[in-house]
Each structure stands twice: as structure tokens, then as C-alpha cells.
Structure 1
Amino acid sequence: MSDFEEFSKLAVTLEPWRSKIVFIGGWAYRLYRYEPRASKPDFAAIYTQDADVAFPEKNALDGDIKKALVGAGFREEPNFAGGFRPPAMRYTLGDAANGFYAEFLTPLTGSPLRRNKATKQFELNATEANGGVVAQKLRHLEVLLHAPWLVTIPAEDSGLGEAVVDLRIPNPVSFMIQKLLIRDDRAREKRAQDVLYIYDAMYLFGSAIEDELAAIWKDLEGTLTDAQRKSVSAGVGELFSEVNDLLREAVTIPSDRRIDPEDMLTLCQMGFEVLFGGAG
């Protein structure tokens, strides 16, 4: 089973909830190629084995997502990393140790601590049970849920013999801005990958920045806190003021193309200048 067939199976299984969830992370990046406003690249998207599925904080999901996934052949496995209670769950398809899996995420806003109703003790506000699954709570995730776009995987690519329609993914502005906001929380190799993600988003949607993406930024900016707006500005300065080690690492990630760090820097600098300048 190909990774696109595995992802398509996940998306079809989640069809009853697709109006309330957003596919984020690496699969959003891969699905951008099906967006009509994207340019047609001559390089492959970066492979990712996991699918991140996000839903709004405290937005009740009707039905039982876990039951649907298990019925479709997914296996529920707890992720004990961090010692969260309850632990976040991972849904794996197939038997391979490094096979395809899905995880659920929801925004963390407010205090990082909450009082346990049973023990009356404070604990990390790190997970949330909803719709039969347990999602991990993350800062700045709400940015990815702002004004999502819709894409369709065509029948010839889905691996299922049919198109998989109306998949909600982050608009590219939210995608890039969230990468800036989480930069200090990422491991070194993930930061380099995020720089490449930002560059590729600029490359794919460069022709739409002035006419469409700048308006999205203006709307998104109004939802951010002062701290988030300052972090976005600082992030652009930290990552894209000069050719730095992160850019040098980012250009080595793809195996099917060569990117000059200077070209990466120039495209991102120009892209953010137009994006932010177009917002007034």
C-alpha cells in the first residue's frame, strides 16, 4: 500500500468529521500541489510518515472516531512521551515499525496547567479527549485552523480508485506563520525542515502573495496576540536576515534538486516583504 493510499484511507475514514478537522503538518505541505493556485513544481514533496489531524479547542466532535479508525484497520497505540494523563494516542496502519500513522492535535491556550477533578492536584494541560480519541494540546496550533483551504486528491493519485474530496488544510499563510511561531520549540533538524517548508510554500504560491495571501495575513494578524505578532517579526529576522547555518542545512534536505542558499534567502525575504507590505 502506498503512502498516498494510506493517507487517503485515513481521510475517507474521517469523512464524517472532515468539516471540523484540518490536516496539518507534512501532509498539508504535500497536498498543496493539488491547490489550483499552486505552481506546478518539478520536484518531489518531502516524505512524511505521519498525518497530523487538528481540531479546534473545546469543539465537541460527535460520534466515535476511534471506533471508525479501528474498524478501518488502524491500531490504537498510546504515546507515553511526556507522561501526559491521559496519554495522547497514535493510530497506526499496518504492521511495519516505521509505518504510516495518524495523531490528533488541538490548540493549547491559557494556562499550561489544569486541576485534576479526581485528585484535586495540578497537572500539565497537555491532552484532551474528544470524539473517542485523545489529542495532544500544542501552542499556536489555532493559527493553522484559521481560514483553511479545500483540496481534492484526484482518483489517479488516491490509490483508492476514487477522488478524495474537500480535505481541509491550512492556508499557506497560516502554514508559514505557525512555523515562525514554533521555531524555538523545535529540534535543530526540524527547524531546518521548517525553513525548507517556508521556502517551498513561497515558491508554490509566489504568484498569489500580493493578490490573495496578503489579505489572508491581514485577517490572520488581527487574531494574533501582541506577543505572537512580535514573535513573527522576530522570527523572520532570525531566520531570513542572512545566509545562516539553518538555511545551509535546509538546502541539503531534498535529494532531487539543488537549491542555492542565497536563492532561498532572497525568495523568502521578498515573499515576506510583499506579504506583510501588502497588508498595509
Structure 2
Amino acid sequence: MSDFAEFSKLAVTLAPWRSQIVFVGGWAYRLYRYEPRAYKPDFAAIFTQDADVAFPARDALEGDIKEALVNAGFKEEPNFAGNFRPPAMRYTLGDEANGFYAEFLTPLTGSPMRRNSITKQFEPDATLANGGVVAQKLRHLEVLLHEPWLVTIPADESGLREAVADLRIPNPVSFIIQKLLIRDDRAREKRAQDVLYIYDALYLFSGGIEDDLLPVWKSLEATLTDAQRKSITAGIDVLFSRVNDLIREAVTIPTDRKIEPENMLKLCQNGFEELLGGA
């Protein structure tokens, strides 16, 4: 089964919750090419084996997502990283090592600690059980849930011989801004990948910044805290004020195209100037 067929199977399985969930992370980036407002590139999207599914922490997810996934052939496995209670779960498809899997995410707001009602001790507020699954809580994830866009995977590309319609993904502005906000929490190799993600998102939607992206930014900006606004400005300065090692690493990630570091920097600088007024 191809990775697109695996993702499509996940999306079809989660159809009853489609109006409440948003596909974020690397799969959102891959799905941007199905957005009618995106430039149609002649290069492939970066491969990703995991699908991140986000939902608002305040929303109750009716029904049992875990049961639906298990019935569709997914296997539930705990992710013990961080020793969180309860542990976040991942849902794998197939028996191959390092194969396709899905994880659930939800925003972390407020204090990162909570008081355990049984032990009376404070512990990380890192996971949330909802709809039969356990999601990991992440800071700044609410940015990705702001005004999501809809895309459809056409039948001839879904791997299922049917279109997979109305998938909610982050709008490109939220996608880019969240990458800036989480930069200090990312491993170095992930930072370089995020620089490439930002560049590609600005590249794909460069023709519609004023008409399509600027109104989204104005709407999103109104929801941000002062600390987040300052972090965005600092992130642009750290990542895109000059050609740096992260940009040099980012341009080496694609294997089917050549990007000059100076061209990556210039496009990003121009994109942020047009979108954020230089932030």
C-alpha cells in the first residue's frame, strides 16, 4: 500500500470527525498542492511517514475514534516518551518497521503542570483523553487550528480509487507562523526541515499573498499574545536575516531540485515583508 493510500485510509476512517479535526505537520504540507490557490510545482513534496491529527482541547469528540481505527486495521501503540500519564498513543498501519502511523495532538494553554487528583502531586499536563484516543498537548498548536482550509485528494491520486474530500488543513499563514513559534523546541535537523517548509509554503502561495494570505494574517494576529508576536519577529530575524547554516542545510534536503541559499533567503524575506510588513 502506498503512503498516499495509507493516509487516505486514515482520512476516510476519521470521516465522522472530519469537521472537528485538522491534519497538521508534514501531511498538511503535502496536501497544499491540492489547494486551488497554490502554484502547481514541478517538484515532489518531502516524504513523511507520520500523520498528525489535531483537535481543539475544548471540543468533545463524540463516538470512539480508537474503535474506528482498530476496525480499519490500525494498531494502537503507546508512546512512552516523556513518561506522560496517560501516555500518548500512536496508530500504526501494517507491520513494517518505521511504517505509516498517526498521532493525535491538542493545544497546551496555560500552565504546563496539573495536579493529579489521586496522588495530589503535580505532574506535566502533557496529554488529553478524548474520543477514545489520547492526544499529546503541544504549545502553540492552537495557531494551526485557526481558520483551516479545505482540500480534496482526487480519486486518481488517493490510492483508494475515490476522492477524499473536504480535509481540513492549516491555512498557510498558520502553518508558517507556528513553525516560527516552535523553533526553539525543535531538534536541529527539524529546524532545517522547518525552514524548507516555510520556504515552500511561501513559494506555493507567493502569487496570492495580498489577496489570500494577508486577510488570514490579520485575523490570526488578533488572536496572538504579545509574547507570541515578539517571538515571531525574533524568529524571522534568527532564521532569515542572512544566509546561515540552517538555510544551507535546508537547501540540501530536496533531492529533485536545486535551491540556492541566497534565493531561499530572498524569497522568504520578500514573502514576510509582503505578508507581515517585515514583522
Task: Give the TM-score band, short-chain normalised.
Answer: over 0.9
State yes or no: 1:178 paired with 2:178. Answer: yes
In 1, the alpha carbon distance for the partners of 2:34 and 2:53 equals 18
In 2, the alpha carbon distance for the partners of 1:276 and 1:245 equals 24
State yes or no: 1:79 paired with 2:61. Answer: no
In 1, the alpha carbon distance for the partners of 2:219 and 2:230 equals 16
In 2, the alpha carbon distance for the partners of 1:105 and 1:222 equals 23
Q: Residue by residue, what CA displacement relative to the aligned partner does 1:11-36 show, whole Å, maximum 9, x if unpaired?
A: 00000000000000000000000000
In 1, the alpha carbon distance for the partners of 2:58 and 2:79 equals 21
- What SS does the aligned partner of 1:119 have? coil
In 2, the alpha carbon distance for the partners of 1:119 and 1:97 equals 37
- What SS does the aligned partner of 2:103 have? strand
Structure 1 residue aligned with 2:39? 39
- What SS does the aligned partner of 1:97 have? coil
Structure 1 residue aligned with 2:125? 125
In 1, the alpha carbon distance for the partners of 2:67 and 2:42 equals 40
State yes or no: 1:265 paired with 2:271. Answer: no
Q: Which consecutive unaligned segments of at least 5 residues does structure 1 have?
A: none
Structure 2 residue aligned with 1:235? 235
Give runs of aligned pairs for residues 90-239 of structure 1, distance below 5 A.
Answer: 90-239=90-239
In 2, the alpha carbon distance for the partners of 1:141 and 1:184 equals 15
In 1, the alpha carbon distance for the partners of 2:278 and 2:34 equals 25
Count of aligned residue pairs for this structure pair: 279
- What SS does the aligned partner of 2:205 have? helix
- What SS does the aligned partner of 2:77 have? strand
Please say if residues 210 and 278 of structure 1, whose CA atoms lie closer than 8 Å, have aligned partners that are also in contact: no
Q: Deviation at 1:120?
A: 1.1
Please say if residues 272 and 278 of structure 2, whose CA atoms lie closer than 8 Å, have aligned partners that are also in contact: no
Q: TM-score, normalised by structure 2?
A: 0.99
- What SS does the aligned partner of 1:234 have? helix
- What SS does the aligned partner of 1:52 have? strand
In 2, the alpha carbon distance for the partners of 1:260 and 1:44 equals 17
State yes or no: 1:26 paired with 2:41. Answer: no
In 1, the alpha carbon distance for the partners of 2:41 and 2:224 equals 32
Q: Deviation at 1:211?
A: 1.3
Q: Where do 4+ consecutive residues of structure 1 move more than 4 Å? A: none
Q: Deviation at 1:121?
A: 1.0
Q: Deviation at 1:277?
A: 2.6
- What SS does the aligned partner of 2:86 have? coil
Please say if residues 192 and 246 of structure 2, whose CA atoms lie closer than 8 Å, have aligned partners that are also in contact: yes
Identity among equivalent pairs (%):
81
Q: Residue by residue, what CA displacement relative to the aligned partner does 1:66-100 show, whole Å, maximum 9, x if unpaired?
A: 00000000000000000000000000000001100
- What SS does the aligned partner of 2:82 have? helix
Please say if residues 51 and 101 of structure 1, whose CA atoms lie closer than 8 Å, have aligned partners that are also in contact: yes
In 2, the alpha carbon distance for the partners of 1:19 and 1:41 equals 28
In 2, the alpha carbon distance for the partners of 1:246 and 1:157 equals 33
Q: Which consecutive unaligned segments of at least 5 residues does structure 2 have?
A: none
